[in-house]
Structure 1
Amino acid sequence: MDARVLYFSGPETVEIRTETIGRPDRDELLVETVASGISPGSELLVYRGEFPEGVEVDATIDALDGEFEYPLRYGYAAVGEVVGTGEAVDEDWLGRRVFAFEPHADRFRTTPDRVVPIRERTTAAAATLLPSVETATNLVLDGHPRIGERVVVFGAGLVGLCTVHLLSGFPLDRFVVVEPVPERRELAETLGADRAVAPGEVGSVLADDGDDDARGADLVYELSGEPSTLDAAIGTVGYDGRVVVGSWYGSRRAAIDLGGSFHRERISVESSQVSTIDPSLRGRWNRQRRFDVAFDHLDSLETDALHGGTVPFEEATEAYRRLDAGGVDGPHVVLTYR
């Protein structure tokens, strides 16, 4: 049995190859893909050739083994229908719609423990947002936002907007998004930000008359994907403030100034990555609980507001070209297979 698989074969080059995958083993499912979502952050780094050499793709996802190097199968937001089962698998799986962390391909083999059944009310396109909402959930868990805090999010891309949606439910004092693209600023306010401003304007929004203790932000998320933004994020927090870095810069380096107020103001800079859970939470949280929470919040997310269009799998080259050029209306582009 064959499958058509998307490969990143070089900088700004993708191609679809036909591979033999065989029939499912006795403990496996055969899934025909209906839709898969493109992650505009990590996938564009791979598309541009900006990934770091010698780094594992993702040790926590079985389908993404190996290191970042061309040619590379990538992607982790596939939704499809189970069309075949091995002899040891309950036939009740047949016909079920499932989500899987699988690279872009029109069919794949996997095991029942590596898929998540899709709820009846959830569309396939919406379900491809699950990794982004799960990442946003992890960001909120890592940031520990508190009542009455001033929170700033740098970057209103796909993960940034999903994070805005989650944070909008907290009783914050001020919630500001910093984003250079006007249309995305509008989206951020639609999804719950108090204000969305252009870079350079956040200081005036956070200004507080005569209250030195409240100067600056309490919590800042750096989600822009741009290394130069990290320095601005550090400069936005006040005394004892926290900066959570969710951006992945790949092979690019961030030039930051730690010689000014950084030390004296006890600013904390922490990384957040969805492959792990904060050690302080692992006693009660695991990946399944976090995923369930993300799924619940997906149901309340205005997914249509994020939608940047659907593109047939055969035209994937055009989808990446448009994303790279900023030529899409929304940050979430979906490949379709039927």
Structure 2
Amino acid sequence: MRAPFQEGAFPFPVKYGYCAVGRVEAGPPDLRGRPVFCLHPHQQRFVAPRACLVPVPDTVPPRRAVLAANMETALNAHWDAGSGPADRIVIVGGGVIGLLTGWLAARLPGAEVTLVDVEPSRRAVAEALGLRFALPAAAPRDADIVFHASASAAGFATAIGCAGNEARIVELSWYGEGTVPAPLGGAFHARRLQLVSSQVAAVAPSRRARWSHGRRARAAMELLADDRLDALITQEIPFSEAPAQIPAVLAPGWSGLTAVLRY
């Protein structure tokens, strides 16, 4: 899972990152002075090909534009799921990807959308985005579509429990190199459930013939024009303080959603 323009390798030292928003200082006249998004590691200045830049529209503040890559993932997930109006949709896992996926689902006319998470504090942000909220023990059943984004075996089991007969479970979690137990007996077979992998590196098959990566990136950026999405950015770190503050963000138990580095 190397990021574009990455240097080095994990764990450290590595120059990583893929959610950079900056202002064009030199380049094509139509972009000069404009804020743009780029899949580029964290640093104060860089040179990038024009094709890698997504202009940030006036309706989206630069700070919120850092969520563009996450919004692309959520948009692609709905294309993989085939979500539609009036669907009963459950999202298991209330991180940034889960919340953005839920926010898109809630915009479908008549859709009944519930976020399921083990952390009760996620209720406030879920409801602010127009979603219902439930802890796993009270998760709704008989969903038409379930998005799993908790990256945990327990969450995946919850997703299976939420799915109705012949429903589709869209797996959005990234597990890395670990092995995760999956309860594929019992309800999984009895209900004839579908399990679909969704990953943003490729445009979903249902759109691939007409949508380029650039078109999808521009659409995701336009979708960020909602002030409520500012709730997904929970911490701002001055770049000069990154060495002192980043370890806490990477440590187990960090309760935030998105930490933004400000240069």
TM-score scaled by structure 1? 0.71
- Note closer, same or farther for the CA distance 1:66–1:305 as it changes in structure 2 (3 Å cut): same
Name the residue aligned to 2:197.
271
Residues 108, 173 of structure 1: alpha-carbon distance in 2 compared, 3 angstrom cutoff: closer
The Cα shift of 1:95 comes to: 2.4
Structure 2 alignment gaps of length 5 or more? none
**Which residue among 131, 138, 147 is the counterpart of 1:201?**
138
Alignment of 1:177-216 (within 5 A): 177-193=115-131, 195-202=132-139, 205-206=140-141, 216=142
Deviations 1:157-202 (A, max 9, x none): 1111111111111134532110112221221111011x20111211
Paired AA for residue 20 in structure 2:
A
Q: Distance in 2 between matches of 1:142 and 1:317?
A: 38
Residues 72, 227 of structure 1: alpha-carbon distance in 2 compared, 3 angstrom cutoff: farther
User: How do residues 1-338 of structure 1 correspond to structure 2 at under 5 angstroms?
Assistant: 56-58=1-3, 61=4, 63-64=5-6, 70-85=12-27, 90-193=28-131, 195-202=132-139, 205-206=140-141, 216-323=142-249, 324-327=251-254, 330-337=256-263
Checking the alignment, whether the CA contact within 8 Å between 1:156 and 1:185 is kept in structure 2 is no
Deviations 1:252-291 (A, max 9, x none): 2221122213223211111111111122321222222222
3-state SS, counterpart of residue 285 of structure 1 = coil
* Runs of 5+ consecutive residues of structure 1 not aligned to the other structure: 1-55, 207-215
Q: Distance in 2 between matches of 1:99 and 1:149?
A: 33
Say if 1:184 and 1:100 are closer, same or farther in 2 by CA, change over 3 A.
same
Higher-strand-fraction structure: 1
Change (3 A) 1:266 1:143: same
Structure 2: how far apart are the matches of 1:67 and 1:98? 26
Distance in 1 (alpha carbons) for counterparts of 2:55 and 2:170: 32
**Residues 20 and 42 in structure 2, CA contact (< 8 A), matched pair in contact too:** yes
Q: 1:289 to 1:70 in 2, by over 3 A?
A: same
Q: Deviations over 1:110-166 (max 9, x none)?
A: 111111222234322111111111111111111111333211000111111111111
Residues 227 and 252 of structure 1 are in contact (CA less than 8 Å); yes or no, is this contact kept in structure 2?
Answer: no
Identical aligned pairs, as a percentage? Answer: 35
Q: What is the Cα deviation at residue 312 of structure 1?
A: 0.8
2:26 aligned partner, one-letter code: G
Structure 2 match to 1:5: none
Q: Quote the residue 1:209 is aligned against.
A: none
- Seen in structure 2, the aligned counterparts of structure 1 residues 269 and 222 have a Cα distance that, compared at 3 Å, is same
Structure 1 residue 325: Cα displacement = 4.5
Q: Quickly say closer, same or farther: Cα 1:306–1:69, change in 2 above 3 A.
A: closer
Q: What number of residue pairs does the alignment pair up?
A: 262
What RMSD in Å do the two structures reach over aligned CA positions? 2.1
Distance 1:122 1:148 in 2: 29
Change (3 A) 1:327 1:232: closer
